[in-house]
Structure formats: C-alpha cells, structure tokens
C-alpha cells in the first residue's frame, strides 16, 4: 500500500458546544479515489476544509504528504475545490488561471491555459469576468483554478451542483484522468451514483465515520438517510 | 493533466508582480476622473472643517487658571493615559477575533492557500493599513493639540506636534497590540481581560484610587508642552516594539478568522455607506462572534400558544442575549451615568454623550422588533397590520432600557464629585429609557429614500439635508431623553428643588414618546395614504394601444 497522502489522527472540530467533527481517524493512500458521503451537516465540508487548512482543528491532527495541514508543504500538495466558488471581481477567466498558476510556480504558456479552459468548456468566455457568471459557469472556473496548479491530493466539495450534464461528464473524466496520473481525489457528494466510479466510500454521520469501504448506490442512500 | 511547479520558483516575486498588475489594471478600468477625485477631497475637507470648528467652539478658548493647571498636571496623565488604554483594549479585542486585517475573500482562498510565504503575502496589506491609520492618528492628534493650545500655555506648534505624536503612538499601540494578539493566537478571554484591566487601572488612577497605571506615561507624553517628562518616551518605544513584533508574526494567522472577516467587513463597509445602521449592527455582532445563548438566562416554559405572544417572544429573545451584549449595555449605562455626573458638575455638552450612550444601548434594546423588521415576509404572513405588530414590541424594549437607565442612575448618584441627587437621578430613569428606545425606533423604522417619493424631485441640497436629518434625528431624540437633567440643574442653581423640574421635563418627553409610538403604529397607513395621493397627483401614463 502506498504511503498515505492524508492522515487524520483524532481530528476534531467543535464550535462552542456543537461538535461538527468527532475525533476522526482516517488514512487516504496516495493515488486513491474516495467518495465522501453523508447527510446534511454530517461534517463532510468541515473535514475537507480542515484538510485544506481553511479551518483550525479543535483537537487532533491532519497531515498532508507528511506535513501538518495548512503549512506551506501541505498547501503545495493539496488543491481544494470548494462548493462556493470564490473569484476576484476584476480578473477574467484567463487572468485568474495565470494568477493562480504563478502563485504556485507553474510556468504555462497561452496554449496551456487555453487547453485547460477548453476542458472546463469556458473557452468562448475566457476573457469575461467570471464573478458575473451564472452559478454553473463560476463552478467551472473554480474547477479550472483547482487544476491549474500542482497537487498530490484533490479535495472536492459538491462539485456537481450547478453543472449541466455535459459539465458533469467532463468533470468525471477529469477525475478519472487525474486518478490515472497518480493523484488522490476525495469528492464529497450527494450523488449516490458516484460511488460506482471509486474504490472507496467513506460515510459520515454527525461527524463520525459510519462506513469505510466499497459501497453501492443503494448503500449510500441508506447511509445518508438521517 | 497534472501540472508541475518550476523548481525554486519565486512565488513571492510572482505575487508582487500580480499585485502591481491588478492595481494598475483597476485604476485604468475604473476610469476615475480627476474632477471626481477633487470633488470628493473638497467634500471631505468641508466636513472636516465643520467638525473642527464645532469642536473648537465646544472646547472654548478661555485660558486655564493656575489651580486648574495644577489639577491637569496631577490628574491629567492618568485620564489621558486612558486613551492609550482604550486604544490597546480595542486592538487586543480586534486581534483576538482575527483582526485587524480585512482581506479580500479571494485573497484568502487563492493567496493564503498557495505555498507563498504568508508573512510576505500579508505584510503589504498590513503596512498599507498601518500607513492609513497612522495618517489618521497624526491628523486627529494634531487637531486635538491645536484645540488644546487655545486653553493652555505653550506654543501652538508644540501642542500640534505633541498631539500628532500622541495620535501616531495611540495608533501604533492599538495596531501593534492587534497584530501581536492575532499572531500569538491569544484566546479571546485573555485579550478581553487584559484590555479591561488596562482601562480599569487608568480610571482608578484618574480618580486617585491608585497612584500609577501602566498607561500614565502616554498621558505624560500628551502634556509635554506643559511639562517635559522623560517617561513620555516610553509609550512611543512600546508602540514601535509592538508594531515590529506584530508584523513579524503577521503570517501566523487563522484562515478561518480571515475568511470570516473578509466576508463580513466588506458587507459592513457597504452597509455603512448606505447608512444602514441595522446591517452595521448585525455584521458587527457576527464579526465579534456575538451569538445568542443556546440556554437562556431564565427559561420561560412553552405552554401552548399562550397570551401576549409578541411580548413573550421579545422576552425570550432578550433572555438569550450573550454575556457580551449584557456587559455592553452595562458599560453604556456607566458611560451615560458618568456623563450625567459631568453635566451636573457643569459640562453641559456631556448630555449629548449620555444621549448617545442610551441610543447605542437602545439599538440592542429594540432587538426583538428589529428581528421582525429583518424578516418582513414572516411578519406579513400574520393577518395583522405591521404597525400593530411593531408597537407591541415596544414594551420589552422599554423594560430593557429602564433597567439600563437604572444602572446609569446608580452611577450618577454614587458618592463623589459630580454626584447627582438621588431623587433627580431616579426621575431621569424613565425619560432616558424612553429616549433610548425612541431614538432606536426612529433609526430602525426609517426607510431608505425611495425613487418613487416626491422628495426625490427636490434639489440635491434638500436631499442632503434630509439625509443628514435622518442620521442626526435618532441620537438627538435619545439626547432629549437625557435633557431633563439640564432643567433640574438650572432650577437647583437658582436655589429651588430640582425634582419637580426634572419631573415636568420628563413628562414632556414621555408625551413625545407616545407620539413616537403612534407614529410606529400608524406609519404604514400614512405611507399608503401618501402613495395613493401621489398616484392621484401624478398618474402613470397608460400604455399606447398596440393596434
């Protein structure tokens, strides 16, 4: 089994007396594709944000590629695609990608950028301001931003919300290709059908892991019913 | 598909290049005309000039006499040191809640999550903030020094320079404390405790309970034109050390706090420009993580639908207030009571401070009504007029404010200099409470100007006056509630009992409050009537026939 890319050791997140994530132990090997499922409020987004370094742990530890989550090495290793796209008001799609690529030391030329923009289906809108796009187009821009920089672990929070069928299919193909290239991918989703594309399904309920292994769509429906 | 980074890529250099590009790009795209910039500077200058002239006339220019000067030299450092104590306390509070920086949300997501050195990434916005606040501190301090030179001996330039240095030092102390607290990830309770202790020590020294407080050297700095004391250098040095230490830890920030602030501060600035005080209050609470208690202070059982549902609903809301809000009301009551003492001693303008404190308290007091206004669809789903529902929320607000005013009265009547006679202080409770509620009601329920109103046709000057009135009227109402103390003071100076005068003035204000309640009840009907009259006077042109 390859070295884990993500290790959560009694990771806990609490807000006052509300425990969003109970002490959680989880190890994701490098190159594994994982579906993270659970009912609303089960802690999926909280876990992904903790791993990305956006939230502070209340207790325990999460390491990414051997470095504590949030440190420079961990940030270099993990790419986070949030459920709420956050974009600059004054940058076009192309400028967004160039900016983020530069922040991560990636040297891309115009063709490389266009290639990535085309994968997410935004080439005709590459010079428009994505902050003024519809929800679905902003989501596509956010996906491109997550892919333009290097990573070993991709954390994706509800990626299919707002995407049309074409966009969803394109994204699934991207995940497959990334997996083939050796990246680990964790996708938090409410789509039961997604588990058929992954080797492992982790289900959360009220901040705790209630299932960790293979699963069918019917299993997912049962696991997420609160 | 996986990308690879260039080895030893200069990420910080790339960030600097992009920031420069965005800045230039923004200016070019915004197409700001130099005439617009000049006009804004002209308006800012006029407002500042008016503020300075008003402050100057309030301070007066009668020179201080010898025994007053002794008083200033003996007690002044302690009281003036309180400015530094408050500045540091505010900085500690801000830093413990993720401040003082408020970044763009996209910067938090893209820059701070990139493997860019965070200290480098945050230094530029921190220095920009420091630069701006330092400028403000210098200007405000310089103006205060100039005003002080009217009353005290010493060259005007010396007072201006000392004031400017004092303003700059206060900013450094505050911002440095904020950066350091944030960098050390100090718990909120520690920061609040330390800040409160500093302020308390300054106050205790001011009233001669203790002989020295940690912030007294700052007071000595401000009095340099009167007495050059070497101890005054200390706060300058401390400010420099705090700022340097804070900037060195600027990269140790919580992204969770940074992201929360980035969203809220942007909304808060927008709400402030729209004079949307209610939104400012709500966002400020979110920034301070001031959330209702899960368990109320006193549990009121739910036994079916019950009687007086609106009153009980309001009470339940108040009983879930967090301790921070209760403490804030207590503090505002102390400020109001202290101001009343100052008024009683002869400083008449302090009645405005008392009124302002009650107005700010009133904004919390009307919280149950404000919740109703925030959720109009829920209110409108009830088969009752909105005014009827609004007016039934007033008793809870009055109850809260009576308790607040009672604390203010206790502070006012406490033995010591400026002690307000107990009978007069007791009579002031009700008008002050009603003033706070009245001002808050006027602020909460006044709607922003609508494009459909006839007054939008008025000249810009009239619109400006209307906007200014809308801003000034609510706190003015609260100040009227505190004004009965002036009537009482006047008759006491004439050798007559003050309680009847305060009672008469208070009763007069109570009458005004009843009119305010009638306005709350009837305003929807009045607006509907007015709208109907406008439609009669200016009917909409009918669509031409398409045939």
| B222-241 confidence digits (pLDDT tens) | 999 988 889 899 999 999 99
Q: CA B37, CA B159: separation in Å to the nearest integer? A: 32
Q: Sheet containing A18-29: give its strands across.
A: A18-29, A4-15, A59-64, A67-68
Mean pLDDT across chain B? 84
- In the A/B pair of chains, how many CB contacts fall below 8 A? 101
Report yes or no: A191 and A160 within 8 Å, Cβ to Cβ: yes
Are B18 and A76 an interchain contact pair (Cβ–Cβ within 8 Å)?
no
Are B294 and A16 an interchain contact pair (Cβ–Cβ within 8 Å)?
yes
- Report the percent of chain B where pLDDT is more than 90: 38
| SS3 assignment for B178-220 | HHHHHHCCCCHHHHHHHHHHHHHHHHHHHCCCCCCCCCHHHHH
Q: Looking at beta carbons, which pairs linking B15-20 to residues 24 or more positions away fall under 8 Å?
A: B15/A102, B15/A103, B15/B111, B15/B116, B15/B120, B15/B121, B17/A102, B18/A99, B18/A102, B18/A103, B19/B124
Residues of chain A with C-beta less than 8 angstroms from the C-beta of B109? 54, 82, 86
Burial (CB count <10 Å: 0-12, 13-18, 19+), residue B217:
buried
Residues of chain B with C-beta less than 8 angstroms from the C-beta of A52? 113
Q: What phi, psi does A87 have (nearest 5°)?
A: -130, 155
Q: CA B115, CA B168: separation in Å to the nearest integer? A: 35
Are A105 and B29 an interchain contact pair (Cβ–Cβ within 8 Å)?
no
How many angstroms separate the most distant Cα atoms in chain B? 92
Are A103 and B106 an interchain contact pair (Cβ–Cβ within 8 Å)?
no
* Interface of chain A toward chain B, CB-CB under 8 angstroms: 16-17, 52-56, 70, 72-73, 75-76, 80, 82, 86-88, 90-91, 99-108, 145, 147-151, 174, 177-178, 181-183
Rounded to two decimals, the ipTM of the complex is 0.82
Are B109 and A182 an interchain contact pair (Cβ–Cβ within 8 Å)?
no
Mean pLDDT of B152-170: 92
Q: What is the pTM of this model?
A: 0.72
DSSP annotation string for chain A: -PPEEEEEEEEEEEETTEEEEEEEEEEEETT-EEEEEESTTSSHHHHHHHHHTSS--SEEEEEETTEETTSHHHHHHEEEE-SS----TT--HHHHHHHHHHHTT----HHHHHHHHHHTT-GGGTTS-GGGS-HHHHHHHHHHHHHSS--SEEEEESTTTT--HHHHHHHHHHHHHHHHTT-EEEEE-S-GGGGGG-SEEEEEETTEEEEEE---HHHHHHHH--
Report yes or no: A176 and A102 within 8 Å, Cβ to Cβ: no
pLDDT in tens, chain A (226 residues): 668 999 999 999 988 777 888 899 999 999 999 999 998 889 999 999 999 999 999 999 999 999 999 888 999 999 999 988 888 878 889 988 988 888 888 888 888 889 999 999 999 999 888 888 999 999 999 999 999 999 999 999 999 888 888 888 888 999 999 989 999 999 999 888 899 989 899 999 988 999 999 989 998 888 888 5
DSSP annotation string for B297-322: SSPPP--SS-SSHHHHHHHHHHTT--
Are B1 and A181 an interchain contact pair (Cβ–Cβ within 8 Å)?
yes
Of the listed ranges B3-12, B269-278, B366-375, B452-461, the least confidently predicted one is B452-461
Q: CA B500, CA A156: separation in Å to the nearest integer? A: 72
Are B113 and A182 an interchain contact pair (Cβ–Cβ within 8 Å)?
no
Report yes or no: A144 and A106 within 8 Å, Cβ to Cβ: no
Query: For residue A116, how far is the Cα from the chain centroid?
Result: 18
Report yes or no: A111 and A83 within 8 Å, Cβ to Cβ: no
Query: For residue B11, how far is the Cα from the chain centroid?
Result: 40
Are B104 and A105 an interchain contact pair (Cβ–Cβ within 8 Å)?
no
Residue B302 has pLDDT above 90, yes or no: no
Residue B522 has pLDDT above 50, yes or no: yes
Residue partners of B167: CB distance under 8 A and separation at least 6? B136, B137, B138, B139, B140, B141, B142, B144
Are B2 and A145 an interchain contact pair (Cβ–Cβ within 8 Å)?
no
Nearest neighbour of A103 by CB, restricted to B3, B111, B259: B111
Determine which helix (DSSP H) or strand (DSSP E) holds B351, and give its type and residue range: helix B350-365
Q: What pLDDT score does A79 carry?
A: 93
Q: What pLDDT score does B305 carry?
A: 62
Are A178 and B117 an interchain contact pair (Cβ–Cβ within 8 Å)?
no
Nearest neighbour of A178 by CB, restricted to B1, B117, B294: B1
Is B186 an 8 Å CB contact of chain A?
no
Are B6 and A106 an interchain contact pair (Cβ–Cβ within 8 Å)?
yes
Q: CA A27, CA A49: separation in Å to the nearest integer? A: 16
Q: How far is B262 from chain A (nearest CA, A)?
A: 12
Mutation target to probe the A interface, by most A beta carbons within 10 A, among B107, B110, B121, B324 is B110
Is B4 an 8 Å CB contact of chain A?
yes
Residues of chain A with C-beta less than 8 angstroms from the C-beta of B17? 102
Q: What is the CA radius of gyration of chain B?
A: 27
Residue B450 has pLDDT above 50, yes or no: yes
Are A108 and B3 an interchain contact pair (Cβ–Cβ within 8 Å)?
yes
> pLDDT tens for residues B98-139?
888 888 888 889 999 999 999 999 998 899 899 989 999 999
pLDDT-based confidence at residue B545 (cuts at 50, 70, 90): very low
Q: How far is B391 from chain A (nearest CA, A)?
A: 35
Nearest neighbour of B110 by CB, restricted to A90, A103, A151: A103
Q: CA A55, CA B537: separation in Å to the nearest integer? A: 59
Are A107 and B6 an interchain contact pair (Cβ–Cβ within 8 Å)?
yes
Place of tokens 């830890």: B249
Q: What pLDDT score does B546 carry?
A: 46
Q: How far is A56 from chain B (nearest CA, A)?
A: 7
- Within 10 angstroms of residue A218's Cβ, the number of other Cβ atoms is 10
Q: Is the peptide bond before B100 cis (omega within 30 degrees of 0)?
A: yes
Of the listed ranges A91-105, B88-102, B399-413, B531-545, the least confidently predicted one is B531-545
Of residues B263 and B65, the one with the higher pLDDT is: B263
Residues of chain A with C-beta less than 8 angstroms from the C-beta of B26? 90
Of the listed ranges A210-224, B155-169, B478-492, the least confidently predicted one is A210-224
Are A53 and B109 an interchain contact pair (Cβ–Cβ within 8 Å)?
no
Is B294 an 8 Å CB contact of chain A?
yes
Report yes or no: B130 and B243 within 8 Å, Cβ to Cβ: yes
Residues of chain B with C-beta less than 8 angstroms from the C-beta of A182? 2
Of residues B13 and B59, the one with the higher pLDDT is: B13
Are B111 and A151 an interchain contact pair (Cβ–Cβ within 8 Å)?
no
Q: How far is A49 from chain B (nearest CA, A)?
A: 9
Return residues 95-124 of B near A (CB < 8 Å): 104-106, 108-111, 113-117
DSSP annotation string for B397-432: HHHHHHHHHHHHHHHHHSSSTTPPPHHHHHHHHHHH
Is B293 an 8 Å CB contact of chain A?
no
Q: How far is A216 from chain B (nearest CA, A)?
A: 29
**What is the chain B residue with the closest CA to A98?**
B18
Is B375 an 8 Å CB contact of chain A?
no
Mutation target to probe the B interface, by most B beta carbons within 10 A, among A50, A54, A148 is A54
Name the nearest CA neighbour of A62 among A24, A36, A22, A15: A24
Q: What pLDDT score does B25 carry?
A: 74
Are B256 and A151 an interchain contact pair (Cβ–Cβ within 8 Å)?
no
Q: What phi, psi does A161 have (nearest 5°)?
A: -65, 125
Mutation target to probe the A interface, by most A beta carbons within 10 A, among B106, B111, B252, B254 is B106
Name the nearest CA neighbour of B113 among B313, B321, B262: B262
Are A56 and B256 an interchain contact pair (Cβ–Cβ within 8 Å)?
yes
Nearest neighbour of A90 by CB, restricted to B25, B108, B259: B25
- What is the DSSP-derived secondary structure letter of residue B226? T
Report yes or no: B133 and B105 within 8 Å, Cβ to Cβ: no
Burial (CB count <10 Å: 0-12, 13-18, 19+), residue B323:
exposed
- What is the DSSP-derived secondary structure letter of residue B393? T
Q: How far is B290 from chain A (nearest CA, A)?
A: 12
Q: What pLDDT score does B53 carry?
A: 65
Residue B547 has pLDDT above 50, yes or no: no
- Within 10 angstroms of residue B413's Cβ, the number of other Cβ atoms is 21
Residue partners of B144: CB distance under 8 A and separation at least 6? B163, B166, B167
Residues of chain B with C-beta less than 8 angstroms from the C-beta of A105? 5-6, 9-11, 14, 115
Q: What pLDDT score does A190 carry?
A: 87
Residues of chain B with C-beta less than 8 angstroms from the C-beta of A146? none
- Within 10 angstroms of residue B308's Cβ, the number of other Cβ atoms is 11
Query: For residue B226, how far is the Cα from the chain centroid?
Result: 32
Are B106 and A16 an interchain contact pair (Cβ–Cβ within 8 Å)?
no
Nearest neighbour of A147 by CB, restricted to B1, B18, B114: B1
Of the listed ranges A24-38, B196-210, B428-442, the least confidently predicted one is B196-210
pLDDT-based confidence at residue B304 (cuts at 50, 70, 90): low
């Amino acid at each position: 089994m390859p070295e884990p890319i993500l290790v959560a050791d009694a990771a806990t997140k609490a807000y006052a007396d509300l425990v969003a994530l109970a002490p959680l132990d989880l190890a994701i090997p490098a190159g594994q594709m994982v579906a993270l499922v659970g009912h609303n409020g089960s802690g999926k987004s909280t876990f992904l944000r903790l791993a990305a370094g956006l939230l502070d742990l209340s207790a325990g530890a999460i390491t990414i590629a051997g470095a504590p989550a949030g440190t420079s090495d961990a940030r270099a290793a993990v790419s986070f695609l949030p459920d709420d796209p956050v974009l600059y008001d004054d940058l076009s799609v192309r400028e967004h990608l160039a900016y983020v690529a530069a922040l991560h030391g990636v040297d891309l030329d115009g063709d490389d950028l266009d290639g990535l923009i085309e994968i997410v289906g935004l080439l005709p809108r590459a010079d428009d301001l994505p902050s003024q796009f519809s929800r679905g187009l902003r989501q596509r821009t956010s996906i491109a931003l997550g892919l333009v920089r290097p990573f070993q672990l991709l954390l994706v929070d509800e990626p299919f919300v707002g995407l049309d069928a074409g966009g969803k299919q394109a994204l699934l193909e991207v995940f497959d290709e990334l997996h083939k290239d050796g990246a680990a991918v964790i996708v938090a989703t409410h789509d039961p059908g997604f588990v058929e594309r992954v080797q492992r399904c982790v289900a959360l309920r009220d901040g705790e892991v209630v299932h960790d292994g293979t699963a069918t769509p019917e299993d997912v429906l049962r696991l997420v019913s609160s | 598909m996986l990308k690879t980074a260039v080895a030893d890529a200069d990420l910080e250099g790339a960030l600097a290049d992009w920031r420069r590009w965005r800045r230039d790009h923004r200016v070019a795209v915004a197409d700001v005309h130099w005439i617009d910039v000049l006009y804004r500077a002209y308006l800012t200058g006029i407002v500042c000039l008016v503020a300075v002239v008003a402050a100057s006339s309030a301070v007066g220019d009668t020179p201080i006499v010898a025994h007053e000067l002794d008083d200033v030299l003996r007690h002044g450092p302690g009281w003036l040191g309180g400015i530094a104590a408050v500045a540091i306390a505010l900085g500690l509070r801000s830093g413990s809640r993720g401040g003082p920086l408020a970044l763009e949300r996209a910067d938090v997501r893209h820059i701070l999550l990139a493997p860019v050195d965070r200290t480098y990434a945050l230094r530029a916005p921190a220095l920009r903030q420091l630069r701006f606040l330092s400028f403000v501190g210098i200007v405000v301090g310089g103006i205060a020094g100039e005003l002080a030179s009217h009353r005290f001996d010493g060259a005007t330039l010396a007072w201006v320079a000392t004031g400017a240095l004092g303003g700059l030092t206060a900013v450094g102390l505050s911002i440095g404390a904020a950066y350091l607290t944030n960098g050390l990830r100090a718990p909120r309770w520690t920061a609040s405790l330390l800040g409160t202790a500093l302020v308390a020590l300054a106050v205790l020294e001011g009233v001669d309970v203790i002989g020295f407080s940690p912030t007294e050297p700052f007071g000595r700095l401000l009095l340099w034109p009167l007495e050059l004391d070497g101890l005054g250098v200390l706060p300058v040095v401390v400010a420099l050390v705090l700022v340097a230490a804070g900037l060195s830890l600027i990269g140790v920030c919580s992204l969770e706090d940074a992201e929360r602030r980035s969203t809220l501060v942007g909304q808060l600035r927008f709400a402030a420009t729209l004079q949307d005080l209610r939104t400012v209050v709500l966002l400020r609470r979110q920034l301070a993580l001031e959330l209702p208690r899960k368990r109320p202070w006193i549990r009121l059982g739910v036994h079916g639908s019950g009687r007086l549902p609106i009153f009980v609903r309001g009470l339940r809301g108040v009983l879930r207030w967090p301790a921070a809000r209760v403490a804030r009301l207590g503090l505002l009551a102390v400020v109001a009571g202290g101001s009343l003492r100052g008024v009683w001693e002869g400083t008449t303008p302090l009645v405005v401070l008392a009124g302002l404190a009650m107005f700010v308290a009133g904004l919390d007091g009307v919280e149950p009504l404000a919740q109703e206004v925030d959720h109009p669809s829920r209110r409108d789903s009830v088969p009752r007029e909105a005014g009827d529902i609004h007016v039934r929320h007033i008793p809870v607000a009055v109850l809260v404010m009576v308790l607040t005013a009672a604390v203010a009265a206790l502070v006012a009547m406490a033995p010591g200099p400026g002690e307000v006679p107990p009978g007069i202080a007791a009579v002031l409770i009700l008008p002050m409470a009603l003033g706070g509620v009245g001002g808050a009601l006027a602020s909460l329920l006044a709607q922003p100007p609508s494009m459909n109103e006839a007054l939008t046709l008025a000249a810009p000057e009239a619109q400006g006056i209307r906007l200014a009135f809308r801003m000034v009227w609510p706190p003015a109402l609260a100040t009227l509630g505190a004004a009965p103390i002036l009537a009482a003071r006047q008759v006491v100076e004439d050798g007559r009992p003050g309680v009847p005068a305060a009672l008469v003035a208070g009763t007069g204000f109570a009458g005004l409050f009843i009119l305010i309640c009638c306005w709350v009840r009837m305003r929807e009907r009045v607006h509907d009537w007015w709208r109907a009259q406008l439609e009669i006077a200016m009917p909409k042109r009918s669509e031409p026939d398409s045939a």
